[in-house]
Amino acid sequence: MDDQTLPGLHVAVLLTDGFEQVEFTEPRTTLEQHGAMIKIISLQRGKVRGFHHDQPADEFTVDTTFDEADPMDFDAVLLPGGKVNGDRIRNIEAAQRFLQHIDQERKPIAAICHGSWLLASAGLAEGRTLTSWPSIQDDIRSAGGNWVDQEVVVDGNLVTSRQPDDIPAFNQKMVESFSLRMNASPGAQAERPGLGASS
């Protein structure tokens, strides 16, 4: 039976082509089972393609773009990884601004694998303890972050993990963090115009 601990919570998933598909689909399933509503935000409308490591996988419909999306419409953010996706998205200024606004409001951000790259590029790693795919640990340290090798790390509103093997622990802490947001902001459950269920 689904545990509706996140009814009506609006979660933005920031993606470009080349994301690690399982790092999107498994957290999405968990969030939807808990009642959250998921929206994919990308550079342009149309489709984004996931990858299974270095092999192209499925396409998913983009709901809105970084330029169009209003951070005030969302309660939390999910940042899947994938080297290609992570390297692209960290250089998109509109994605950085979106994430900065989310962080300023102390809304939860859950990043896995190369998803933490965007945290570093957006200036959100400074003074924070987090983890990621090991190859980007120097980037996180250069951005002022304290990188640790753990399956999941929670630092304030940030939840981070290293790799697909960490997804069960990541999902658990993500739901806990997002649930705290629900409890702190009862208005998060209210319906917002134009934000229907994800396709």
- What residue spans of 82-148 are helical by DSSP H? 83-89, 93-104, 116-121, 137-142
What CATH number has the domain bearing residue 47? 3.40.50.880
Question: The domain containing residue 108 runs over which residues?
Answer: 10-183
What's the domain count of the chain?
Answer: 1
The confidence score (pLDDT) of residue 147 equals 98
Q: Which residues are tagged catalytic?
A: 114
Look-up: residue for tokens 């970084």?
A: 66
Domain membership flag for residue 192 = no
- Quick one: pLDDT at residue 4? 67
CA distance 48 to 58: 8
Closest alpha carbon to 47 in 69, 58, 62: 62
Instruction: Give the model's pLDDT for residue 5.
Output: 87
**What's the pLDDT score for residue 182?**
79
Q: How would you classify the pairing of strands 10-14 and 76-79?
A: parallel
In a domain, 196, yes or no: no
pLDDT, tens digit, for every residue of 124-154?
999 999 999 999 999 999 999 999 999 999 9
Judge contact between 37 and 195, C-beta under 8 A: yes
| Residue 184 pLDDT | 75
Residue 146 lies in a domain: yes
Q: Domain for residue 193, yes or no?
A: no
At 62 the pLDDT is 98
| pLDDT of amino acid 188 | 53
Query: What does the pLDDT read at residue 1?
Result: 36
Q: Flag residues of the chain having pLDDT under 50.
A: 1, 189-199
